[in-house]
Amino acid sequence: MSRASDGKGAREAGAGQARSGLAGATPGAGAGPGRSGGRPAAAGTAGGGRGGGAAGTDGTAGARRIHAAFDTARAEGRVALIPYVVAGYPDAETSLAVALAAIDAGADLLEVGLPYSDPLADGATLQRASTAALRAGATLDASVALIGAIAAARPGIPLVPMAYANQVIGGGDGRTAARRLAAAGASGVIVADLTPDEGTPFEAAARDAGLAVVYLVAPTTAPARRAEVARRTGGFLYCVSLVGVTGARSSLPRTVGRYVADVKAASPVPVGVGFGVSRPEHVTVLRRAGADGVIVASALVDALGPDGRDVAGLGRLVRELRSATGG
C-alpha cells in the first residue's frame, strides 16, 4: 500500500479527507487532473431529490433498488444493515463465500470494496486486506466478475461497489466502468474521492448505465455544502461518522447523534452512516439518532481473522449487528 501503510500514514490520510474531497467538504477539491480528467462540473447542476433531475443519479434503476431496500427495512422498523467486503480478499473464491455469508446473515445491501493501491480513505485493516487481495491477483476485471457472481447468487440484494476515481474514471468520464458495473449487477457505486463539483460527467455516464452515484459527507462538511451533496447523491447519502479514516472503534464520537440528525434534516434520500461502526451498541446509537442505515467494514474484515478465512466468524458478527437494527 503506497501511502497509508502504517498508523502515521493512516492519520495523514484522514487529515487529508477534506482536501481529497472524500466527503465533498471543500468545493472544487477531490478528483483533479489524473483522477477524473479534471473536467469541472457544469454550473447550476445541483440536481433534484428522490426521482432525480438534470443532474444526479437518484432517478436510475439502481437507485430505485437501493431505495427499495431501505424502504423494506423501514417498514420492518429497522435501520438497513450494509456490510462491507473486500473483493478478492483473501482470494477470489473465499471472497465470494464471505459476501454470500454476509448477505445470508442479514445484510440489506452489500458494499464491495474494489482493491486499490492508494486507498486514502482506508485505515490499517482495509489497507491490509486490499494489499493481500492485490497480491493474490485481484484486478478490476476480477472484482467485476465477483460482483456478477454475487448478483447471480443473491439477486435480491443491492450491491454497491466502493472505488476510487483512478479505478473507474481515470482520464475519461468513467462510461466503460459504469456500464461494466451495472451489467455485472451493481445498483450503485461509491467513488470516495469524487465530489459533485467534478462528478457531472461520471453522473451522466452512470445515469446512462442505470447506476446510482453515492456521494459522502463528513463532520467537516459545512451545512450548505451538505445539503448540496445530498441533492446530488443517488440511492443514499453516505454519512462519514468521524474525522479520520476507516477502522473499528470502541466508541463513536459523542456528537454523532446530533450530527446524524442534522444530516438527515438536509437529505432527501436515506442516510447511511459508516466509518468506525463496529459493534451492536453502535448500531443502536445510530438507529436512535435517526440513521436509515449503518455501514460496517473494518470490524467485519477483522472478524475474518488474520488469514481472512473465518467466514463463520464474520457471519456471527453480521447476525449480532442485525439484531441491533430494530424491528
Among the listed residues 58, 122, 197, 292, the single catalytic one is: 122
311 phi/psi in degrees, rounded to 5: -65, -40
Measured distance between the N- and C-terminal CA atoms of the chain, rounded to whole angstroms: 41
Among the listed residues 91, 93, 104, 111, the single catalytic one is: 111
Q: Is 111 a catalytic residue?
A: yes
What span, in angstroms and rounded, lies between the C-alpha atoms of 180 and 35? 19
Q: Is 281 a catalytic residue?
A: no
CA distances from 324 to 1, 240, 255, 280, 317 (A): 34, 20, 20, 5, 11
What span, in angstroms and rounded, lies between the C-alpha atoms of 96 and 79? 25
What sections of the chain are H helices per DSSP? Answer: 7-15, 17-20, 61-75, 92-104, 124-135, 140-153, 165-168, 175-184, 196-209, 223-232, 256-266, 280-289, 298-303, 311-323
For residue 91, give the 3-state DSSP assignment: coil
- Parallel/antiparallel/unpaired status of strands 80-86 and 293-296: parallel
Active centre residues (catalytic): 111, 122
